[in-house]
Structure 1
Amino acid sequence: MVTNPWARNPWFETVHEAQCRAKKRLPKSVYSSLIAGTQAGVTARDNVDAYSEIGLAPHVIGVQPDRELSTTVMGQDLSFPVMISPTGVQAVDPDGEVAVARAAAARGTAMGLSSFASQPVEEVTAVNDKIFFQIYWLGSRDEILARAMRAKEAGAKGLIVTTDWVFNIGRDWGSPEIPEKVDVKALLRLAPEIAVKPRYAMDWIRDGKIIIPDLSAPNVSRGKGQPGPTFFGAYGEWMSTAPPTWDDLQWLREQWGGPFMVKGVTRLDDAKRAVDIGATALSVSNHGGNNLDGTPATIRLLPGIAEAVGDQIEVLLDGGIRRGSDVAKALALGARAVMIGRAYLWGLAANGQAGVENVLDLLRMGLDSVVMGLGHKSIDDLTRDDLIIGEDFERSFGGV
Structure 2
Amino acid sequence: MSNTWFESVAEAQRRAKKRLPGSVYSALIAGSEKGLTLQDNLGAFDELRFAPRTAGHFAQRELATTVLGREVSLPVLISPTGVQAVHPDGEVAVARAAAARGTSVGLSSFGSKPIEEVVAANPNTYFQVYWTGTRDDILQRLDRARTAGAVGIILTLDWSFSHSRDWGSPHIPDKLTPRELLRFAPESLRHPRWLYRYARTRRLPDLSVPNMTPPGGIAPTFFGAYGQWMQTTPPTWDDVRWLREQWDGPFLLKGVIRVDEARRAVDAGVSAISVSNHGGNNLDGTPATIRALPAIADAVGSDVEVLLDGGIRRGSDVVKALALGARAVLIGRAYLWGLAAGGQAGVENVLDVLRNGIDSTLLALGHRSVHDLSREDVVVPEGFGHALGSDVRVTAR
State the TM-score, normalizing by the size of structure 2: 0.97
Instruction: Indicate whether 1:78 and 2:72 are aligned.
Output: yes
- The answer for the alignment partner of 2:377 in structure 1 is 386
Does the 8 Å contact 1:218/1:226 carry over to 2? no
1:24 and 2:18 are equivalent in the alignment: yes
The answer to whether the 8 Å contact 1:46/1:296 transfers is yes
1:211 paired with 2:203, answer yes
**Equivalent position amino acid for 2:352 in 1:** D
Aligned to 2:144: 150
Which of residues 162, 176, 184 in structure 2 aligns to 1:168? 162
Distance 2:161 2:296 in 1: 25
Q: Report the count of equivalent residues.
A: 391
Q: Does 1:375 align with 2:366?
A: yes
- Partner SS state of residue 67, structure 1: coil
Q: Contact 1:43/1:297 (CA < 8 Å) preserved in 2?
A: yes
Shift of 1:35: 0.3
2:246 alignment partner, SS class: helix
Residue pair 1:149, 1:256 contacting (<8 A) in 2 also: no
Question: What corresponds to 2:394 in structure 1?
Answer: none
* Between 336-345 and 248-257, the greater mean CA deviation after superposition: 248-257
Deviation at 1:152, TM superposition (A): 1.1
Matching residue within 27, 41, 45 for 2:39? 45
SS of the residue 2:52 aligns to: coil
Matched, 1:287 2:278: yes
Q: Distance in 2 between matches of 1:24 and 1:111?
A: 26
User: Aligned match of 2:325 in 329, 334, 339?
Assistant: 334
Q: How do 1:222-261 residues align onto structure 2 when only pairs under 5 Å count?
A: 222-223=214-215, 226-261=217-252
Residues 281-290 or 388-397, more deviating: 388-397
* Correspondence for 2:90: 96
Using the TM superposition, give the Cα deviation of residue 226 of structure 1 relative to its aligned residue in structure 2, in angstroms.
4.7
Aligned partner of residue 205 in structure 1, secondary structure: helix
Gaps (5+ residues) in structure 2?
392-397
Aligned residue in 2 for 1:3: none
1:301 to 292, 304, 315: 292
Q: Give the CA RMSD over aligned residues.
A: 1.2
* Shift in CA distance, 294/34, structure 1 to aligned 2, threshold 3 Å: same
Q: CA shift at 1:76, angstroms?
A: 1.1
Q: SS where residue 256 of structure 1 aligns? A: coil
Give 1:219 shift.
0.3
Residue of structure 2 equivalent to 1:348: 339
1:188 corresponds, among 176, 182, 185, to: 182
What is the rounded CA distance, in whole Å, between the counterparts of 2:319 and 2:163 in structure 1?
A: 34
The AA in structure 2 aligned to 1:27 is: P
Aligned to 1:111: 105
Tell me if the contact between 1:29 and 1:177 (Cα under 8 Å) persists in the aligned partners. Answer: yes
Gaps of 5+ in 1: 1-5
Q: State the Cα deviation string for residues 48-96 of structure 1 (Å, max 9, x = none).
A: 1111100011001011011111111112111010000000000000000
Shift of 1:168: 2.3
| Alpha-carbon offset, residue 100 of structure 1 | 0.1
SS at match of 1:126: helix
Letter in 2 for 1:31: Y
Residue identity matched to 2:271: T
